[in-house]
Amino acid sequence: MAAASVIPVAYQGNTSASVPDWLNKGDNAWQMISATLVGLQSVPGLVILYGSIVKKKWAVNSAFMALYAFAAVLLCWVTWAYNMSFGDKLLPFWGKASPALGQKFLIKQAIVPATTQYYDNGEVETAVVAPFYPMASIVYFQSVFAAITLILLAGSLLGRMNIRAWMMFVPLWLTFSYTVGAFSLWGGGFLFHWGVMDFAGGFVIHLSSGIAGLTAAYWVGPRCSKDRERFPPNNVLLVLAGAGLLWMGWSGFNGGAPYTANLDSSMAVLNTHICAATSLLVWTSLDVIFFKKPSVIGAVQGMITGLVCITPGAGLVQGWAAILMGILSGSIPWFTMMVIHKRWTLLQKIDDTLGVFHTHAVAGLLGGAATGLFAEPELCALFLPVTNSRGAFYGGSGSVQFLKQLVGAGFIIIWNIIVTSIICLVIRLVIPLRMPEEELLIGDDAVHGEEAYALWGDGEMYDSTKHGWYSDETIHKKSSNGATDQMV
């Protein structure tokens, strides 16, 4: 008599009301882990990176801008913005605003209602996006994507934006800019159905934050002249700590994009790290060739441009293409930052504190365009709603994909320039966008009444009457290595 097979209790179906038939525990676990990894990229990742890469007097303010944005976005997201990005269609580029807070909404099976893809004859080409876990998981996952977009944008504005203006800017930009890009490309909008490829946010997150950051930097105005002339990182080792959290967290960023722990997710994670490593090495090599020494800050920038570049095609390209994209992302943004930036009057005029335009807008556009060339048909079939999708490199219908990518990028660029400008002008009617000059001269102590480091006596704040005379120009002098000075 054959022995009866023993099925573990966890796999015996619906064992309780909390485990419905449609719930895939593995997918649900991976999605929540991925969301948490992305959250860790922001808090503490970018909080640490921003607080360390800026001049000492701006460490607290820079870290706080990131921390505030993370909290504010999450609350706005569940109150109205999630459904504007992934809910029922209102316009070809926008969903209907509604809260994502109710129990009945959050424990039902996840679905992105506007994503059913149809053939011209009305037959279904690709079914609606409906992952095998509850709405709560997808709301959480997408919330941290929205939050990191605002935090990346903040990198262009460090060291001078009025914190009260920033507190107004975050919910307005989330509502009128981010939700449009997210719905258009991911939530079932016109670019989604047309077949524009953006695997995990090269356009929705990085291109939009880079363009909006540059636009907002124009309206806010520059840092004080002393800060623009000399702006050394206050702790390079902590910059590396924040960058490490950003890099490792990108496994969730790209690995969670398929909404399931599947073959495409594995490809995305591996390609992410291949491209990032290649880009870091290329950027560092260029620093050595042209500036005669490797820059740690430059290496971090090369890492970031590699991560950004692979994001729109992480699960759609082969490993050799990830290496090629890493070579491009380590060289082209380096060239725009080190060469073009110095020669283009407009870029010289706009004070983009951390060079977000180069590391995110240029790298994001580059990655989206490269995806239009190298997206492999078999991998596309694992992810995209439009059948027979492929990059131009593979011929056939791929011949128009590169053009689609450029059109998608153009929409994101134009929308962000216009909407970001309107938001800044509206806020300026209520409160100044830029800090007053006295706050710009003093920094954190004037803005927050706090300082990052207590280095005197028993740990009290610096006091010139107790600790002697201090001049910003007399400490930490060193020769320029080119890369660091262009970055910050």
Number of domains in the chain: 1
Residue 102 lies in a domain: yes
Residue-range definition of the domain harbouring residue 384: 25-430
Task: Spell out the per-residue pLDDT of the chain, length 488, in tens.
Answer: 455 566 655 556 555 788 899 999 999 999 999 999 999 999 999 999 999 999 999 999 999 999 999 999 999 999 999 999 999 999 999 999 999 999 999 999 999 999 999 998 999 999 999 999 999 999 999 999 999 999 999 999 999 999 999 999 999 999 999 999 999 999 999 999 999 999 999 999 999 999 999 999 999 999 999 999 999 999 999 999 999 999 999 999 999 999 999 999 999 999 999 999 999 999 999 999 999 999 999 999 999 999 999 999 999 999 999 999 999 999 999 999 999 999 999 899 999 999 999 999 999 999 999 999 999 999 999 999 999 999 999 998 888 999 999 999 999 999 999 999 999 999 999 999 999 999 999 999 999 999 998 765 555 566 666 555 545 544 444 444 444 444 43
In a domain? residue 147: yes
- Please report whether residue 475 resides in a domain: no
Q: Is residue 396 part of a domain?
A: yes
- Cβ–Cβ under 8 Å, residues 435 and 447: yes
Q: Which residue is it, tokens 């909290």?
A: 71
User: Would you say residue 439 lies in a domain?
Assistant: no
Is 17 inside any structural domain?
A: no
pTM assigned to the model: 0.91
Q: Is residue 480 assigned to a domain?
A: no
Tell me the CATH number at 272: 1.10.3430.10
